[in-house]
Structure 1
């Protein structure tokens, strides 16, 4: 009996509809168990829906190839090819060291890493087909294909700690082979992407690739108009386990110059707020950290100021709940449109007029279980030896539009979109197949 023709017809239809220029999007979902985020794409031929752990600082994407990797369009990368040389590979592989589909003893090798567990391995590099929905900033449209997408194989153990259902990692770092970089290169679109993370257990947020806007959210609000910009700072030293000589970090850093609680500046060691020649210090943005992680001295100053300012609101600290140290009984905390009514936290950038304001919805975490019902300050003590003094984590980015304009070396941020009467869960994912893209 002959196999049905529908999947084959659908694939060739996609080939005909692939544009020469457009922007892309992908749904982004939060895993409620780990508080980490996944990016949904299509991979392989025939196209298969694939959920990947979203790593904002990873140099390239990788997938688990040990679970029957099957595709008619993948191929390995010859070790002495120009593509392999451009990957900054450290080794060539053989099938024993780095197994993968169609593996040969002349395969370019990469080192996929799990930055959450700090594990890395040697694995085959490969090329395959990737697809994402096109967008006009208002709706998703037809799928656009990337026929020569470079990624790496991996093995199942490297998925440890990732959200359930993920089969790999989407690397969005500032490298030549990250997901946004390859979309930019292949389609000749701007090297820019934006994230709007949703904390909803049911409705996804969204990632936009290749467009600086518009970004429309219900009810017809273009959040690109709310962005404030600050320079992206280059950290001269990479912090991954496999660091290339004289290769700067692919992670995203910004220049926070001070922190304010209720408008009052904290007394901080200013050297901690800048990146030194060894790559230490400064402020990094990360989706690997569920909550913002602070150098011990910064954490101490923030929590003390927050407790003092909260006392004026008649809030009294109660028993802490790990990993947090400052918590308040939920029945004592008023709730507003911007979340719990608590002191604001401002991350001030290059001038007093440029600051990322963190309202209660992003500064506090609700913990309700058994006989405990508290709001806790959602910042974590990273210790006195923290490499980055501030690691701005996922919880602080929920319902905030954050744009990474790598081409222009700047970061755009909106602060909480709740102030604009919308949320990151309000993007309209209803497909519009009539989009002229």
Structure 2
């Protein structure tokens, strides 16, 4: 996401704050302030020290003026560092849901980070924008500064297109057919999401997984989120490229895929994907190969469905693979999810996160209405 000319932030659904590299001379925030208290309650990774909790570095040249600090975290490589909390301007475009209207600048509080913390981030990224419900997350700060709803929408593009991140609510219009706009917010279906007490992630309450509508041999309790330890559960992620499953769950899903696609000619595995097929043996519909539908069965009833276009990735001209990977045998931290739904699976689906009501809206795959996340109109309108 572009935040000002030449500056881009990686969007992290579970991140509690904003962080970026800073100039050597930057403003600081006093330790004993409401902002620092908000920084102190951020959910830190297990290998990071806790944030200031009313303490910090001496920002007054030995005069005892305490500067608030926090612990920015790189969600791609697991590294973290301590940095000052500063105030910086952010520039965004106001929209009426159809066009951008005019730019607006507003202050945000962010943590400074050393350049080394940018490792593994995409080229040109200067930091990370956390999208959790924490007080210093981007949606919380936008809502407080601009007096809008504590809500945000993400539409992640496929195929290298341009998507959208919209803060403060809708409506949301997409170009559906030439010279006509569709208000896709009218087609949103909402479900409640779960929050992990140990991190800021968004979780789905899932009790089963099905391939082509036939259940995989996954015990319901293996997908549950433990409210006490924060372990398990099915988490949404904008930083994991593909859906990752714990080994026991992964093996059950692979066996279900094998049972359903046993007549489709296989291709050799293509790292990091294990189950691959010959491109010539698959056929395509508007929403991808019809033999590659995966359902997450929700406790509240109904399914969250991923169609072939979000489950099959073409790795070369002759090979298609299921876009799922196996987690390592040892969890990276105690609150490791059972399933991480990756960015590829979320592409071309308008998602609306309502932080006040604790619910998640989804249009489902936009291909059904012959549009994509790249079809927001970014030409300027009239204020």
Shared fold by TM > 0.5? yes
1:180 equivalent in structure 2:
139
1:214 equivalent in structure 2:
172
SS of residue matched to 1:340 = coil
1:268 equivalent in alignment to 2:218: yes
**For residues 57 and 215 of structure 1, do their structure 2 counterparts lie closer, same or farther at Cα, with a shift above 3 Å needed?**
farther
1:126 equivalent in structure 2:
86
1:233 equivalent among 179, 194, 200? 194
1:258 equivalent in alignment to 2:214: no
Q: Distance in 2 between matches of 1:174 and 1:349?
A: 23
Q: Distance in 2 between matches of 1:286 and 1:92?
A: 31
2:46 equivalent in structure 1:
none
1:296 equivalent in alignment to 2:247: yes
**For residues 297 and 75 of structure 1, do their structure 2 counterparts lie closer, same or farther at Cα, with a shift above 3 Å needed?**
same
Q: Distance in 2 between matches of 1:82 and 1:399?
A: 38
| Cα contact 2:89–2:108 (8 A) shared by 1 | yes
| Cα contact 1:93–1:123 (8 A) shared by 2 | no
* Runs of 5+ consecutive residues of structure 1 not aligned to the other structure: 1-38, 43-47, 238-248
Give the TM-score taking structure 2 as reference length: 0.89
Q: Distance in 2 between matches of 1:414 and 1:356?
A: 11
Q: CA-to-partner distance for each residue in 1:242-293, whole Å, 9 max, x for gaps?
A: xxxxxxx211112112111111122212222111121111111011100001
Q: Distance in 2 between matches of 1:126 and 1:176?
A: 15
1:283 equivalent in structure 2:
234
Q: CA-to-partner distance for each residue in 1:85-109, whole Å, 9 max, x for gaps?
A: 232142402469xx9xxxx962110
| Cα contact 2:77–2:120 (8 A) shared by 1 | yes
Q: Distance in 2 between matches of 1:216 and 1:137?
A: 9
5 Å matches for 1:85-100? 85-88=37-40, 89-90=51-52, 91-94=55-58
Q: Distance in 1 between matches of 2:314 and 2:68?
A: 47
1:45 equivalent in structure 2:
none
1:110 equivalent in structure 2:
70
| Cα contact 1:138–1:217 (8 A) shared by 2 | no
Q: CA-to-partner distance for each residue in 1:388-418, whole Å, 9 max, x for gaps?
A: 1111100000111111111110111222110
CA offset at residue 138 of structure 1? 1.0
Q: CA-to-partner distance for each residue in 1:71-91, whole Å, 9 max, x for gaps?
A: xxx621012223222321424
| Cα contact 1:174–1:252 (8 A) shared by 2 | no
1:431 equivalent among 369, 380, 383? 380
| Cα contact 2:211–2:293 (8 A) shared by 1 | yes
CA offset at residue 297 of structure 1? 1.4
Give the TM-score taking structure 1 as reference length: 0.79
1:84 equivalent in alignment to 2:36: yes
Q: Distance in 2 between matches of 1:426 and 1:55?
A: 23
CA offset at residue 168 of structure 1? 1.1
Note the aligned Cα RMSD (angstroms).
2.0
| Cα contact 2:292–2:312 (8 A) shared by 1 | no
1:359 equivalent in alignment to 2:318: no
Aligned positions, number: 361
SS of residue matched to 2:295 = strand
SS of residue matched to 2:7 = strand
1:308 equivalent in structure 2:
259
CA offset at residue 131 of structure 1? 1.4
5 Å matches for 1:50-199? 50-65=7-22, 68=23, 75-88=27-40, 89-90=51-52, 91-94=55-58, 106-146=66-106, 148-199=107-158
Q: Distance in 1 between matches of 2:187 and 2:223?
A: 26
**For residues 217 and 56 of structure 1, do their structure 2 counterparts lie closer, same or farther at Cα, with a shift above 3 Å needed?**
farther
CA offset at residue 69 of structure 1? 6.3
2:269 equivalent in structure 1:
320
CA offset at residue 136 of structure 1? 0.8
1:21 equivalent in structure 2:
none
SS of residue matched to 2:140 = helix
1:408 equivalent in structure 2:
357
| Cα contact 1:198–1:399 (8 A) shared by 2 | yes
Q: Distance in 2 between matches of 1:52 and 1:315?
A: 41
CA offset at residue 385 of structure 1? 4.3
**For residues 140 and 266 of structure 1, do their structure 2 counterparts lie closer, same or farther at Cα, with a shift above 3 Å needed?**
same
| Cα contact 1:216–1:222 (8 A) shared by 2 | yes
| Cα contact 2:207–2:223 (8 A) shared by 1 | yes
Farther-moved stretch of structure 1 (342-351 vs 156-165): 342-351
Q: Distance in 1 between matches of 2:75 and 2:200?
A: 13
